[in-house]
Amino acid sequence: MHEYELIEGYTLEIISRAQSTQRRCKILLSRNFASKAPRNLASVLIDICILLENACRSIFKSIDWQDKNTKTQESFIILQITDFIVREIGSHISYIDEAQTQKLPWSFIQPVQKLAKALLPGVQIMLTPQWEYNYTILTTNLYDVYSNYLSRFVNYVSGTNLEEILAPLGKSFHIVSFPSIERNNVLLHCIMGHEIGHLASKKYFTEQRKQILLQSIRDNVASIVEKKVKKVAP
Amino acid sequence: MRSINMAEKAMIVNYILLTSQVVLTLEDAIENKDLTEQQYNSLKEGSELLSRIIEGAMLIEGKKFKNGFGPTMEGLSIYGYALSTIQKLDFIKEIKEKEFTQFFEKLRNELSKLIKEKRKDDKIASQLKSFFVQLGSSFREDIQKESYYKEKNLPFTLKKQKNAYA
């Protein structure tokens, strides 16, 4: 019974965290943004949290309390990972918060997004300031990240359409950050072109080039693995 | 200890959830419970995960790729986790002449048999279960370590260099 109460308490804690993320996103939706991208991200985060909240309830209900070992343990691991995802998703709210109009070079946002759209059709770019004195781009596609995080939860909530939840992100969503102290320095912002270029450069890593790269590292990796195996083998 | 990027983290999280779902299904199979369609799908995805491991093993052992297998970064990355799983479970004694590919193919074939013929050998089902339990634990180790990762406090000149090339 003690175990039941502990896991129940933990489940409620995850649900409450997911609800808090939803609330914060809803508040942010009422703010001003220079483009649609932050709003799209906020609405996706809300839907993700609703899915995780429902999944949490379903996972808790599916726990087999008769089996005190493996099954309870594995179900608890699934809850822990759900909690991990809720926290990760929650940390992405700061991107939306920072993307409010007054914190950005607002007149510059639309032209940069138009440029990105012309160079990379179907790619959505969101601009945010950062404290670090550098320009950076999140080359990882957020659509793929969320899709990977959530695909296993579809089993727990019937009727879930993951593509519908992630649709506002388009097929590709990336975040470009710039040093907040240089917000109004338009001459420095040409570096954003370099950052967007990171996405364009991906096209040049063709299958043939991948094969050459793999060939060049194979021997080195094999020798490292062999050394490790020699250590382990009796 | 290494820092993992966002895409890799999401992939690992996905695999942790998959290994747990496979373990829960194998537990039901061992208890002779009827498996649902959803549970069979989890086993199929578990078998696909083993295929990725085989791809990594083939790449490292320099074998020719056939039967739809090909070199992937994902396979290479997961193969590392599978190796540490073998080490922890002490399966290394069962693998003759470092034929890791064959060992993983054997595991995958057993899992496929369970899916297609819907019958199981208790000993093999338990071996599969312990493999997936430990594989899930290997995946979790990296995520847990990552939570405690802190960037080194670099001197100013090094920070400047790092910023210049970031």
Per-residue pLDDT tens over the stretch A172-194: 999 999 998 888 888 888 888 88
pLDDT at B126 over 90: no
Query: b/e map of B65-95 (b: 16 or more CB within 10 Å)?
Result: eeeebebeeebbbbbbbbbbbbbeeebbeeb
Looking at residue B151, its pLDDT comes to 55
How does residue A139 score in pLDDT terms, banded at 50, 70 and 90?
confident
Per-residue pLDDT tens over the stretch B101-110: 888 888 898 8
Comparison of pLDDT for A152 and B33, the residue scoring more: A152
Count of alpha carbons within 13 angstroms of residue B26, beta-carbon side: 29
Residues A84-90 have a mean pLDDT of 94
Q: Would an 8 Å CB–CB cutoff place A234 in contact with chain B?
A: yes
Q: Would an 8 Å CB–CB cutoff place A149 in contact with chain B?
A: yes
Mean pLDDT lowest among A49-53, A133-137, B120-124: B120-124
Whether ipTM tops 0.95, in short, is no
Domain ranges across chain A: 2-210
How does residue A92 score in pLDDT terms, banded at 50, 70 and 90?
very high
pLDDT at B148 over 60: no
Residues A60-71 have a mean pLDDT of 81
Contacts of residue A155 in chain B, CB cutoff 8 Å? 21, 38, 41-42
How far is residue B77's CA from residue A51's CA, in Å, rounded to a whole number? Answer: 29
Identify the bridge partners of residue A33 per DSSP, sorted by sequence position: A100
Residue among A70, A138, A145 whose CB faces B27 most closely: A70
Looking at residue A227, its pLDDT comes to 80
Prediction pTM value: 0.83
Q: Average pLDDT, whole number, for chain B? A: 81
Residues, chain A:
234
Residues A74-99 have a mean pLDDT of 93
Contacts of residue B18 in chain A, CB cutoff 8 Å? 152
Residue among B11, B93, B98 whose CB faces A148 most closely: B11
Highest averaged pLDDT of the listed ranges A109-118, A205-214, B133-142:
B133-142
Q: Would an 8 Å CB–CB cutoff place A3 in contact with chain B?
A: no
Q: Average pLDDT, whole number, for chain A? A: 88
Per-residue pLDDT tens over the stretch B24-65: 999 888 888 888 888 899 999 999 999 999 988 888 877 777
pLDDT at A127 over 60: yes
Looking at residue B1, its pLDDT comes to 37
Residues B117-143 have a mean pLDDT of 86
CA distances A134 to A139, A182, A188, B146, Å, are: 15, 10, 11, 24
Contact B163 A70 (CB under 8 A): no
Stretch (H or E) spanning B16: helix B6-30
Contact A134 B166 (CB under 8 A): yes
Looking at residue A189, its pLDDT comes to 85
pLDDT at A166 over 70: yes
Q: Would an 8 Å CB–CB cutoff place A228 in contact with chain B?
A: yes
